[in-house]
Amino acid sequence: MSNPRFEETRTEAAAAITEGDLRSVYAGLVHEDGRHEYYLGNDTESAEQLREAAAVQLGMLCRVLADRSERSVEEVADLAVERAEHMELR
């Protein structure tokens, strides 16, 4: 494993998902064989609340990925949009 903190982060994330009062949860999994899974759940009452929760999650993810990949938030977001256009929901 190239990132020694990965297993610790994975354990922390699993615990955080099962504990506490959450309003929104997203988990995106990329397997070693390239297979993708994503789980999205929101306890929101309106489309506006859903958009706000999604914007916060996307913002957090873009910010962290930009910092760790030494790219701008815009570069990460552009790449994410490109990938999203090719994904299928199941």
Mean pLDDT of 71-87: 92
Tell me which range, 3-7, 43-47, 51-55, 71-75, is most confidently predicted by mean pLDDT.
71-75
17-69 pLDDT, tens digit each: 888 788 888 888 999 998 888 888 889 889 999 999 989 999 999 999 999 99
**pLDDT for 88:** 75
Cα–Cα distance between 76 and 71 in angstroms, integer?
A: 7
**pLDDT for 75:** 96
Instruction: Tell if the pTM clears 0.75, that is, is over it.
Output: no
**pLDDT for 62:** 93
- Any alpha helices (H) in 1-90, and if so which ranges? 6-18, 47-69, 73-84
Burial 64-85 (b: 16+ CB within 10 A, else e): ebbeeeeeeeeebbeeeeeeee
Which two tokens mark 34? 């390239």
